[in-house]
Amino acid sequence: MLLLAAALSFFSGVAYSDPTLIRSGFVILGVVVLNAVFNIVQEYRAEKLVQAVTMLIPRKVKVVRDGRTGHIDVSGIVPGDFVLLEEGDEVPADIRLVSAFDVRVNNALLTGESRL
C-alpha cells in the first residue's frame, strides 16, 4: 500500500512538476525501507530465540512403556508413556505428575523472571 502511495506521489510530482510531491514519494519509500529493516531484524532475533529455547529441550528421555524402562527420543513420547524424571531433569513434554515429592518448577523461561 505504501509502495503504491509512493508511486502515485512520484507520478503526481512529475506530472505537475511539484518537487514537494517527489520529496513525499522519497519519504514514503524511506518509511518502507525502514520498516523492512526492522522486520528483518525482528525475524532474525525471533529465530535465534527459537533456536535457544530448542537447545533447552532434552533430546532423550527415560520412559516406562509396556512395563519396560528405556530411553527414547522426546519426539517418540506418546500418551500412556510414564516419563521418569530425576533431580535436575528437564520436563520433555506436557505431562501429568502421578507421583512426586518436593517438586519445584522453574518457569523463568516462560515468565521472564530472573529469580526463583
Give the up-direction half-sphere exposure of residue 21: CA atoms within 13 A in the CB hemisphere: 13
pLDDT computed for residue 114 by the predictor: 65
- Residue numbers of the chain with a pLDDT score lower than 50: none
User: What pLDDT, on the 0 to 100 scale, is given for residue 115?
Assistant: 58
The pLDDT value recorded for residue 44 is 96
C-alpha cell recorded at residue 111: 515468565
Give residue 30's identity as a one-letter amino acid code: G
Domain locations along the chain: 2-55, 58-111
pLDDT of residue 16: 92
Question: Smallest Cα–Cα separation from 71: which of 52, 86, 55, 88?
Answer: 86
Kindly give the residue spans of alpha helices, DSSP state H, lying in the chain.
2-15, 19-56, 108-111
Distances (CA, A) of 55 to 28, 49, 51, 61, 116: 41, 10, 6, 15, 21
Q: What is the per-residue pLDDT for 32?
A: 96
**31-51 pLDDT, tens per residue?**
999 999 999 999 999 999 888
Residue matched to cell numbers 528405556: 70
